[in-house]
Amino acid sequence: MTDTHQGAPEVPPSVRMYEMLYSSLVSQVLIAVAEVGAADVFGDGPEHVAEVARRTGCHTESLYRALRALASVGVFSEVAPKVFTLTPLARTLRGDGPDSMRDLARYLGRPERQRSFGAMAHTLRTGRPAFDHVNGTDLWSLLTTRGELGTLFDRAMGNMARMVNSSTLAAHDLSGARRLVDVGGGQGHLVATLLARYPELTAVVFDLPRVIPEAEAVLGAAGVLDRATCVGGDFFESVPTGGDTYLLSWTIHDWDDDDSVRILRNVRTAMADTGSQLLLVDDVLPEGDAPHFGKFEDIVILTLLTGRSRTESEFAALLSRAGFTHVETRPTTAPTSLLIAHPN
């Protein structure tokens, strides 16, 4: 939340704590406003909240209070009484546009996920995912059995993939690469961007079979399906061979060390001994108290899955167990970094 104490001499810890305890409300209001599609009904100019409410089927005064709260943190702007415009932040809540975060917001609002965070104390007591405890199954199984939830998850990951795309591209020159395999590549947004940037490159998107038709649709819409293959499978079994560049974006952090080593060893087996590279796009945590978004991303994984965010030395140890040497870590403008490794 914004600092409402500017100029005040000293803010007692209880007041700071009160605000921290309520800080998740910013997220909750964003999720609700994205769910009703309020940002989507705006044109280029301002809109009266009564019109936004009419077009989204909302209760005008309640929607007004939500937009007013969000305007106080820079999402929407109240330019005249009860009249709002979109700010750049509010624009990301729209369903259209390359930097849309709407599907991510809608996925974050799903009761299966919200319930899990309400039960996080279970995870702290047992070390097991609260998600499994409250939903009676693990996340990956539920995404498979509940098709519409699986698709929403994939689309949410697509929002995140597009967020990291440009900074990942800027962090590393792939002009020497010929065949890239994106392991756990989801809907293929990163591959679509890379194929558009590097005309000599061909690519494989490898993911669970249920995700493959979605990846084919994204790559087809991007006009790059002639240089891409989408392969369904299980990275605990094997990974497609023939790549000189293997990429895992926001995927290793979903798994504990032993599972991560199994995945990375399968990548090591699939890649050629010389001239190959492994690229990991992931949160790389600073040591100590230093703030980093990945420290809270780690709590998401802790509560929902069995993985973890890692420090650079933890990644280096993991890579070494799987037959790689960590060469370099490059920061990007997204919360993630790019780790580069070579096969031993």
Q: Which of residues 82-101 bind ligand SAM (CB under 6 A)?
A: none
Paired strand residues for 85: 77
The strand pair at 47-48 and 83-85 is best described as antiparallel
CB closer to ligand SAM, 207 vs 283? 207
Is residue 5 annotated as a catalytic residue, yes or no?
A: no
Q: Is 184 among the residues that bind ligand SAM (CB under 6 A)?
A: yes
Q: Is 255 among the residues that bind ligand SAM (CB under 6 A)?
A: no
If 0-12 CB within 10 Å is exposed, 13-18 middle and 19+ buried, where does residue 51 land?
Answer: middle
Residue listed under structure tokens 């001239």? 275
Give residue 204's identity as a one-letter amino acid code. V
CB of 3 to ligand SAM, least distance (A): 33
Catalytic residue, chosen from 48, 253, 292, 342, is 253
Q: Is 185 among the residues that bind ligand SAM (CB under 6 A)?
A: yes
CB of 159 to ligand SAM, least distance (A): 8
CB closer to ligand SAM, 49 vs 212? 212
Token output for 222: 């991007």
Phi, psi of 326 (to 5 degrees): -70, 125
Rounded-to-integer distance, Cα 163 and Cα 189, Å: 10
CB closer to ligand SAM, 34 vs 161? 161
Rounded-to-integer distance, Cα 46 and Cα 157, Å: 31
CB closer to ligand SAM, 47 vs 254? 254
DSSP 277: E
CB closer to ligand SAM, 55 vs 262? 262
The strand pair at 245-249 and 324-331 is best described as unpaired
Token output for 33: 């406003």
Pick the piece of the chain touching ligand SAM (CB under 6 A) from 45-53, 118-126, 180-188, 284-292.
Answer: 180-188
Contact string (CB under 6 A) for ligand SAM, positions 121-160, x = contact:
-------------------x----------------x--x
Q: Is 211 among the residues that bind ligand SAM (CB under 6 A)?
A: yes
Q: Is 37 among the residues that bind ligand SAM (CB under 6 A)?
A: no
Rounded-to-integer distance, Cα 331 and Cα 168, Å: 9
Q: How many CB atoms lie within 10 A of CB 305?
A: 18
Q: Is 250 among the residues that bind ligand SAM (CB under 6 A)?
A: yes
Rounded-to-integer distance, Cα 225 and Cα 30, Å: 35
Pick the piece of the chain touching ligand SAM (CB under 6 A) from 13-21, 124-132, 245-253, 302-310.
Answer: 245-253
CB closer to ligand SAM, 58 vs 174? 174
Rounded-to-integer distance, Cα 264 and Cα 196, Å: 27
Q: Which residues bind ligand SAM (CB under 6 A)?
A: 140, 157, 160-161, 184-186, 207-208, 211, 234-236, 249-251, 254
Q: List the catalytic residues.
A: 253
